[in-house]
Amino acid sequence: MTTLPFPIAEEPDAAMMERGRKLFAGQTTFLKGVVAMSGLPPADRLEVCFAGRSNVGKSSLINALTGHKALARASNTPGRTQEINYFTLADSHYLVDLPGYGFAKAPVAVVEKWQNLLKAYLSGRPTLRRAFVLIDARHGVKAVDKEILTLLDKSAVPFQTVLTKADKVKTAELETVIEQVRASLQAHPAAFPELIVTSSEKGDGIATLRSTIAALADS
């Protein structure tokens, strides 16, 4: 099996950075929360989704990307968000916040319902261009993350790994986690071969992620 290096994404050039800035400077609004496939909005624009285990900092990242402090609401109870939340970005994109996974307190029937909805969404959304899988830089890839990565492989949805909370770990520890993430991703054919390292609190990697999303319109 060919080993991929999964380098850290380089900071975009000035033109791409400006393109990403302008895209996310447009109005971003909450559209709807979806609990069944029948509730999905029309597949009439480019769509990216964000997946991550509970408490990975998904809401904080979406808020940092869009410049809105409370656009995506962070819950004090991990796993509380039970819907696929749709946000409109300018007039050209959907940002999709998937339910957090890896929660321990949700009833089995609820978890099964979420999983079925997630599988149906990932395999049946033609305008979904890329999934961004958030991995906590303090912990690396856990067993529960591997489940979503395998699901994305089976659904043939290209995904890119985004490390969150990079400001919470020392440089040496971060390097160790990055190597663990790289090793874990070798087994996943749907993985885009580049990592993005972010800190929602410090703003690190936010411009890179914005530009990455803006560039998807070209592919």
CB 28 within 8 A of CB 214: no
Q: Can you read off the two tokens belonging to residue 40?
A: 């999905």
Angle formed by the axes of helices 206-215 and 14-25, nearest 10°: 90
Torsion of CA 81, 84, 86, 92, to 10 degrees: 140
pLDDT at 113 over 50: yes
Given pLDDT bands bounded at 50, 70 and 90, which one contains residue 103?
Answer: low
Of 30-34, 77-81, 130-134, give the range with the top mean pLDDT: 130-134
Q: How many angstroms from the chain centroid is the CA of residue 172? A: 25
CB count within 10 Å of CB 82 equals 15
Q: What is the mean pLDDT of residues 105-116?
A: 77
pLDDT tens string 46-88:
999 999 988 899 999 999 999 987 777 654 444 445 789 999 9
Residues 6+ apart with CB under 8 A from 30: 71, 85, 86, 87
